[in-house]
Amino acid sequence: MFDLSWIDMVILVLASFRLTHLIVFDEITSFLREPFIKITYVTDSSGQVVRDFQFKGGAVRQWIGKLLSCHWCVGIWIGVLIVALYMYVPAAYPILLILAIAGAAAVIETKLYM
């Protein structure tokens, strides 16, 4: 077992949030999603703009597309990655810290513009 301080826990949570959002939503990583998903934005009957997914290819590509379109699903795997980096790759800590700072900034920005 390992000893995890509260500040490290906050850093891991925020890093996980930011990396998950980066993979699932951000334009800069759309090249990761493009082989598996076509995303369009449509207006539903209530006037809300929603993301519409069309999954590409066969069963495996569609499965990966469904995974990449789900922040809950990606979040689980990112959580595993973040904890593994924290535990086994101490040199990754500055990267986790940068992701955490970006995650905190994203949360603050979201709250300011709501």
Burial of 19 (C-beta count, 10 Å sphere; 0-12/13-18/19+): buried
Place of tokens 């890093």: 15
**What pLDDT score was predicted for residue 62?**
95
Q: What would the two tokens of residue 43 be?
A: 């207006």
pLDDT of residue 114: 66
What is the pLDDT at residue 81? 98
Please give the pLDDT value at position 1: 60
- Calculate ∠ Cα 56-26-108, nearest 5°: 145
Structure tokens at 3: 């000893």
The reported pLDDT for the residue numbered 110 is 85
> For each of the chain's 114 residues, which pLDDT tens digit applies?
668 999 999 999 999 999 999 999 999 999 999 999 999 999 999 999 998 999 999 999 999 999 999 999 999 999 999 999 999 999 999 999 999 999 999 999 987 776
DSSP string over 54-91: EE-SSHHHHHHHHHHT-HHHHHHHHHHHHHHHHHH-GG
pTM for this predicted structure: 0.87
What token pair was written down for 87?
A: 């535990």
> What is residue 61's predicted lDDT score, i.e. its pLDDT?
96
